[in-house]
Structure 1
Amino acid sequence: MPLHPSSRLQEARRALADRLRDVRRDAEISGRELAARCGWSESKSSRIENARTPPSDADIRAWCRACAAEDQTADLIAANRESADAQVEWKRLQRTGLRRLQESVGGLYGQTRTFRVYVSDVIPGLLQTAGYATALLSSIADFRGAPDDVSEAVTARMRRNAVLDDPGHRFSFVLEESVLRYRLCGPGTMSAQLGHLLGVMDSQNVAVGIVPFSARRTVWPMPTFTIFDDSRVHADTLDAAATLTQPGRVDLYARAFERLSQGAVRGAAARSLIADAVASLG
């Protein structure tokens, strides 16, 4: 099978092939023995290990069973399903404007019961006011050259954010203190945004923690990410949005969130940090 023209997809296939080879080697069996246990040709094992043929889910199950490594099956299947489309460039996502991007995750937000959100750069989308969202999305549209449908995108974001009012959903946010200080909008808009954040903290289904500048770090500040239940992570970079579903990778982000949470202050201490940020606006 010829190599896929996408180097990113081929890189993902190569990584999966390397992991399958390691599973076989850890079992201390040859490619010939693996093929015999799986009931296929030795050449098929070779093609999979050399990333020339992508394995099916059934192939991975058979491979792990033959190597007595069934505990790795779920993670390897998830890795197999994560293709180049799992990391999509923002330019592609925003080609048709920002409104559709807001609307595209509405179903996911409705289905998710527990949200864990870590941010180091901006107020989380779920906690944004219309004014703050307008300023932020305007700067994004300008920077990335996206179609200017900011007004419609803000309306879609506010509609999506109604999920916060549903007691059937639970939200845990961890913010770096810097998020309270970055001037992404005018003082009046930022003051209203911080006031809104204080109000949201009264909600029974919302927990907000803030990592102070002065906190002794056990983990470093990292890029923003959101964990949806225990099954999916959205992790953002400057140029792309990554969707991660491998159990091992989801667990990695869950452990990072837990460690970041441990360094966050809550309640009166968090409110004091927000009040200080409001006061600094003059």
Structure 2
Amino acid sequence: MSTSPSSSAQAAREALAVRLSHLRKDAGLSGKDLSARCGWHPAKTTRIQKGDAPPSDTDIRAWCAACGADDQADDLIATARAVDSMYLEWRRLHKDGMRKVQQNWNTLHERTRVCRVYVSNVFPGFFQTPGFATALMGQITTFQGTPNDVSEAVAARVARSRFLYEGRHLYVVLLEESVLRYRTAGPEAMRGQLRHLLDVMPLASVSLGIIPFTAQRTVWPLEAFYLHDDTVAVVETLTAEIKVTQPREVADYAKAFAGLTEMAVYGDAARALIQTAMDALE
């Protein structure tokens, strides 16, 4: 596995920086010349060209104007915005509350035919019950200090379950047994969540595997990630959501998922682990 899932975002930033640098060189301008035309300090030009400072829309338009390449500004701005969306801090995403983020989640899943999901901490959103989601989102809101719109966000998150019933998507999900055992919500909410997991297991759109505590590890426990077909891996860390698009890195996540799949149990064995977790709540 790659040591940092943010490397795709950094590589994309560097690629944008190279395009801007080439634009300057093609115009026959030095860094100082471009800085003077743009009206900023040469150090800013250096930071942008190294990929250390993401350029704003205004910066890009000024850069293109200085290079006599106004016709390239819109394309470069679109590229910069795409790069910016690859690494999104949760506090930034949730600055106005969590509801909009939950709704925006649908866009990527609408396009996804097969979604492979691995989680080691909490149930995937499309499996969550209102009780579990309320407890989890309350914790997130408190931790991040962001606006509390938990009830609206929960409704949007629970609505994700429609993808399980549409018949156009397949969800291949791997849970660490710890997910069943963590008391993320109170006993009744946890019991309801585990019962719901048993209810969705027979769906044609769902393949559910559980990795037991006792499984001999060939792949260590990882951060939660979602593989959308074979094109994008969305990785969830404490502070950010990261979209991995470099084929080599996406392949690493696919390789890890394949290894995790071999450690999981399915069918009756998985149901037994869920039932045991429910019994432990008594």
**TM > 0.5 between the two?**
yes
Look up the SS of the partner of 2:210 in the other structure.
strand
Give the residue type in structure 2 aligned to 1:166.
E
Paired residues in the alignment total 229
- In structure 1, the residue matched to 2:277 is 277
- In structure 1, the residue matched to 2:209 is 209
- In structure 2, the residue matched to 1:137 is 137
Kept in 2, the 8 Å contact 1:227–1:253? The answer is yes
Could you tell me how far 1:53 is from its partner in structure 2?
7.5
Look up the SS of the partner of 1:122 in the other structure.
coil
Look up the SS of the partner of 1:253 in the other structure.
helix
Task: Supply the RMSD in Å over aligned alpha carbons.
Answer: 3.1
- In structure 2, the residue matched to 1:153 is 153
Give the residue type in structure 2 aligned to 1:264.
A
Distance 1:259 1:138, change over 3 A: same
Kept in 1, the 8 Å contact 2:8–2:245? The answer is no
Distance 1:204 1:147, change over 3 A: same
Could you tell me how far 1:97 is from its partner in structure 2?
0.3
Show structure 2 runs of 5+ residues with no match: 1-6, 17-21, 30-46, 52-78
Q: Residues of 1 paired with 2:242 and 2:86: CA distance?
A: 6
The 5 Å alignment of 1:1-282 reads 12=11, 52=49, 83-282=83-282
Kept in 2, the 8 Å contact 1:12–1:83? The answer is no
Q: Residues of 2 paired with 1:170 and 1:235: CA distance?
A: 19
Could you tell me how far 1:163 is from its partner in structure 2?
0.8
Q: Residues of 2 paired with 1:84 and 1:107: CA distance?
A: 18
Kept in 1, the 8 Å contact 2:234–2:241? The answer is yes
Give the residue type in structure 2 aligned to 1:261.
T
Distance 1:241 1:228, change over 3 A: same
Distance 1:167 1:13, change over 3 A: closer
Q: Residues of 2 paired with 1:276 and 1:255: CA distance?
A: 30
Q: Residues of 2 paired with 1:52 and 1:223: CA distance?
A: 32
Name the stretch that deviates more: 209-218 or 244-253: 244-253
- Structure 1 length normalisation: TM-score? 0.73
Sequence identity (%) = 44
Q: Residues of 1 paired with 2:160 and 2:13: CA distance?
A: 38
Give the residue type in structure 2 aligned to 1:88.
L
Deviations 1:17-48 (A, max 9, x none): 9xxxxxxxxxxxxxxxxx9xxxx97x99xxxx
Distance 1:14 1:133, change over 3 A: closer
- Structure 2 length normalisation: TM-score? 0.73
Give the residue type in structure 2 aligned to 1:163.
F
Please list every run of at least 4 consecutive aligned residues from structure 1 whose deviation after the TM superposition is greater than 6 angstroms. 79-82
Kept in 2, the 8 Å contact 1:209–1:270? The answer is yes
Give the residue type in structure 1 aligned to 2:96.
T
Q: Residues of 2 paired with 1:156 and 1:146: CA distance?
A: 17
